[in-house]
Structure 1
Amino acid sequence: MKKKITHTLVYTYEIPVSLDEHLICLKPRSNGFQKLCNYELEIFPSSHSIFPMLSENGDDIFKVVFSGSTNSLTIKSKSEIETKVHPDLFQLENNYDLSLPLKIESNNTLIGFIKGWFPNGQHDPAAIKIAQEALAGINNNVLDFLYQLIELIKDRVKYTPRHLGPAWTSGRTLSERVGSCRDLAILLMETCRCVGIPSRFVSGYQFMDQPPNKYELHAWTEVFIPGLGWRGFDPSGCGLINQNYVALASSSMSELVAPVRGTFVGPSKLKSELNWNIEIT
């Protein structure tokens, strides 16, 4: 399936400000189940320099350095991408041991993806509790666990859009019984880590057969399954992701895959506004 994605963000300030360094994370991946055919990044004001970078997970990030002052910042990301069908994991031949907890001690690159979400590295007790429930009645297999866990999350938490603020902890999402896509992605990620499944937060887009009034950036979780690699699961959507998903970037921390990170210099209590638009055809 071929898609064209135009993502535009417009920041406006009530008086001219000086823009500090910005990091832009809006270039889709080109690997696995998606091929990036063309990409353009437009930034206004034109008085800037762009430096391409790679994140710790190998995703493209652009560092932008500005000069002068401005009362607006416009960022337009235009992608042409082709996505492929994702096979059913249960239909793939896999001779690896998928019993829990997964045995990944020999793979140092995965150790960081099973640490707890809390700053001290501990797991959220609420995530541990729901992980124990998801383990009940299954054959201690990672795929059975994932599907049962996603059903539990969908039963316990109602998806609701939330545009402002960082992702919630698993405990808050479960106690509120509502959560945005990033809240549910963190909940799935943290719960998987409780049983030794490497997992990470993903930012991207989800194409709809019936387009919504306004597309928004989406978030889901990728888990590492021996013999199958990193595979995406969306607890606020269809479970195992399909060709309607386009990944931008992934990280152990949700804030590191924000589409734009940066600051500006101006008077205190300066008013600013953000407007965005995402077109997918």
Structure 2
Amino acid sequence: MIYQIAHTTIYTYNKYVELTPHIVRLRPRSDAFQTLQDFAIDVVPEPKGISAIVDLNGNDVLKLWFDEPTKELKIKVSSQVETHCHNPFNYLLEPWAMKLPIADYPAPILRHLQPYIEGRVDPAAVQLAQEIWHGSRGEILTFLSDLNQRIYRTCRYTIRETGAAFPPGITWRQQAGSCRDLTVLFMEACRAMGLATRFVSGYQEGDLNNSDRHLHAWAEVYLPGGGWRGYDPTQNLAISDRNIALVSSAIPEYASPINGSFRGRGAYSQMKYDLSIEKLC
């Protein structure tokens, strides 16, 4: 699939403000599953400088800094991406990674994966993981499929445009959440079983006739023998060629699309955005 994406974010302020440096994480990644064919960014007001950075997670991000007060910040990115993952199950698991919980990672692999496994796992996620594990007989792929399906069927999808992801206990108790809330719940249930996971921010094809578009989030699980593989509990899907990944991180906050702030006594901001996704072929 080849997609053309136009994504504009506009911040307006009630008075002139000074902008701190902003990090923009809206450049689609290029890897085995997708190729970035074209990318452009337009910023108003014109930044004093723009630098391309590879962050701690290996993501390609942009840092903008400014030197003039403004009452508006407009960031428009245009991307063309070709996706390649037609079969999300085209891999062969390592023999020692067929059952859960995984407790015997080879030491070199474990050192790499530790940031994606560690953390305080919410008791609600632990209980959910144990229930799914018991029903799946410890089969790793069955566990992931059943977990994806349980969250999808149990939790009502809601749109929440701003704010950090809710703790898994809140999402599971409310049985509702945004895509990032459901993703964090999925991640922590996986980590309770010793599976390394990371949070992914990106786009999803969805209904191409629907003009109401939003950023999307899903999880990637590291499967020994298969590498990082995506699961979307909001859609109950294994990620294939209809998702376009921007960035990923073990910590969801480091996958947010734009980070930055402003200075100005009594100043406040409002945000709006416009997103279009066109499938070219």
- Is TM > 0.5 for Structure 1 vs Structure 2? yes
- Tell me how far 1:115 sits from its aligned partner: 1.2
Query: Is this contact kept in 1: 2:180–2:218, CA < 8 A?
Result: yes
Root mean square deviation, CA, Å: 1.4
* Conserved? CA contact 1:224–1:230, under 8 Å: yes
Residue 88 of structure 1: CA displacement?
A: 4.3
Which residue in the other structure is 2:114 paired with?
111
Aligned to 2:28: 28
**Counterpart-to-counterpart distance in 1, 2:74 and 2:144:** 40
1:123 aligned partner: 121
Name the residue aligned to 2:177: 179
Q: 1:88 to 1:222 in 2, by over 3 A?
A: closer
Matching residue within 139, 152, 155 for 2:153: 155
Offset, 1:31: 0.4
Alignment of 1:1-281 (within 5 A): 1-89=1-89, 92-97=91-96, 98-102=98-102, 103-106=104-107, 107=109, 108-116=111-119, 122-268=120-266, 270-281=267-278
Deviation at 1:141, TM superposition (A): 1.9
Preserved contact between residue 249 and residue 257 of structure 1 (Cα < 8 Å): yes
Moved over 3 A (4+): 91-96
Distance 1:67 1:248 in 2: 28
CA distance in 2, matches of 1:68, 1:131: 51
> Quick check: 1:10–1:274 contact (8 Å CA) kept in 2?
yes
For the 8 Å contact 1:104–1:110, the answer to whether it is kept is: no
What SS does structure 2 have at the residue aligned with 1:190?
Answer: helix
Once residues 50 and 15 of structure 2 are traced to their aligned partners in structure 1, the CA distance between those partners, rounded to angstroms, is 25
Letter in 2 for 1:28: P
Give the secondary structure class of the aligned counterpart of 2:124: helix
Deviation, 1:95, is 4.3
Would you say the 8 A contact 2:100–2:133 is kept in 1? no
Structure 2 residue identity aligned to 1:83:
T
Structure 2 partner of 1:119: none
Normalised TM-score (structure 1): 0.93
| Count of residue pairs the alignment pairs up | 274
CA 273–171 in structure 1, closer or farther in 2 if over 3 Å, else same: same
* Unpaired stretches in structure 2, ≥5 consecutive residues: none
Deviations 1:157-176 (A, max 9, x none): 11111123210011000111
- CA deviations 1:100-128 (Å, max 9, x no partner) are 12232512110111112xxxxx2110000
Matches of 1:29 and 1:74, distance apart in 2: 22
Judge which range, 216-225 or 63-72, deviates more: 63-72
- Compare 160-169 and 221-230 and name the one that shifted more: 160-169
Contact 1:29 1:35 in 2 (8 A): yes
- Secondary structure at 2:135's aligned position in 1? coil
Are the equivalent residues in 2 in contact too, given 1:9–1:75 (CA < 8 A)? yes
In 2: Cα distance, 1:96 partner to 1:36 partner: 34
CA deviations over 1:18-45 (Å, ceiling 9, x no partner) = 1111111000001021000011111111
- CA–CA distance in 1 between the matches of 2:32 and 2:95? 20
1:134 aligned counterpart, secondary structure? helix
In structure 1, distance between residues paired with 2:91 and 2:26: 32
Deviation at 1:250, TM superposition (A): 0.6
| Comparing 201-210 and 101-110, the one that deviates more | 101-110
